[in-house]
Amino acid sequence: MDQEQWDRLEELLYMQDLGGSLVDEILEGIKLFHKSHPQAEESDYIQWMKKFMLSLFPLQNEPLPRFYPKGSLVLVVGVNGSGKTTTIGRLAHFYREQNQKILVAPGDTFRAAAKEQLSIWAKRAQVDMVDSLSKEPSGVIYEALQKGQSGEYDLILADTAGRLDAKVELMRELEKVIRTAKKLQPEAPQEILYILDATLGQNGLDQLKAFLQVCPVTGICLTKMDGTAKGGVALRVQKELKIPILWIGLGESLHDLQPFDANQYVESLF
């Protein structure tokens, strides 16, 4: 490659939201590949890059979607407007179609209209919502778990308020929710699903790291992948944090959610 092609490649990788260190690593790798394969053609370089990117997803060998023991709690967390409530609606729809009985919990007691918004999604997805009078997220989620323990529900999906890492008291509240859930069910929450807005790039990654200080995120749903965002941030999450991506959000409707597929994702970057 001449310098111009080289610069173009670097620019393309940056445009995918891969971030400096990952771009450098890929460029170094390509240089080495070029040395060992001087006759390589464009398609060989592309193959090398795809293979390298796939190798960043070591945890993605597990079959998705995940299914959980009866009565499990999936706690959905993330910053304001990332798509938590929408994702709960879509997850409820998805699991209901798999013949699971779903209960959603309006754990966002912070924003006035949040409960109403979740109840609209619950109706769309044709699932139940726990009608708690508690003004505290931990109270609402406790009630939902209690209902779940009666054996009626397969899965409880709990919404939470959007929060930014700077709001210390809100972040502490998440710790309380988790502590309270564990009083009823030591294994709960069986999943802490972080909703990562793909359009946020580096910021999204920094915010996720701040959440990790207070709650052990076990899976990620990457939303807004239908827009111009390339979602290269997913590769950085794998490389730096090794938290599996479980779902991809591809729009605003009930059906716009798919289990994450690393092969398909890497193909979509090219």
Ligand X SMILES: Nc1nc2c(ncn2[C@@H]2O[C@H](COP(=O)(O)OP(=O)(O)OP(=O)(O)O)[C@@H](O)[C@H]2O)c(=O)[nH]1
Residues contributing to the site for ligand X (CB under 6 A): 78, 80-86, 108, 114, 162, 195, 223-224, 226-227, 249-252, 256
Closer by beta carbon to Mg ion, 76 or else 245? 76
Closer by beta carbon to ligand X, 71 or else 189? 189
Smallest gap from Cβ 8 to Mg ion, in A, equals 41
| Binding region for Mg ion (CB under 5 A) out of 50-58, 66-74, 84-92, 244-252 | 84-92
Determine how β-strand 257-259 pairs with β-strand 245-249.
antiparallel
Smallest gap from Cβ 46 to Mg ion, in A, equals 39
Q: Of ligand X, Mg ion, none, which one sits near residue 115, judging by CB under 5 to 8 A according to partner kind?
A: none
* 51 three-state secondary structure: helix
* Cα–Cα nearest to 222, from 30, 17, 23: 17
Closer by beta carbon to Mg ion, 84 or else 90? 84
Number of residues that bind Mg ion (CB under 5 A): 2
For residue 137, say if its preceding peptide bond is cis, omega within 30 degrees of 0. Answer: no
Based on DSSP, count helices (H) and strands (E) in the chain, helices before strands.
10, 8
Stated length of the chain: 270
Contact status, residue 137 vs residue 160, Cβ threshold 8 Å:
yes
Closer by beta carbon to Mg ion, 107 or else 148? 107
Smallest gap from Cβ 266 to ligand X, in A, equals 19
Helices 233-241 and 20-36: angle between axes, nearest 10 degrees = 90
Show the 3-state SS of 145-194. Answer: HHHHHCCCCCEEEECCCCCCCCCHHHHHHHHHHHHHHHHHCCCCCCEEEE
Smallest gap from Cβ 82 to ligand X, in A, equals 4
Closer by beta carbon to ligand X, 108 or else 191? 108
Smallest gap from Cβ 85 to Mg ion, in A, equals 3
223 contacts Mg ion (rule: CB under 5 A): no
85 contacts Mg ion (rule: CB under 5 A): yes
Residues that bind Mg ion (CB under 5 A): 84-85
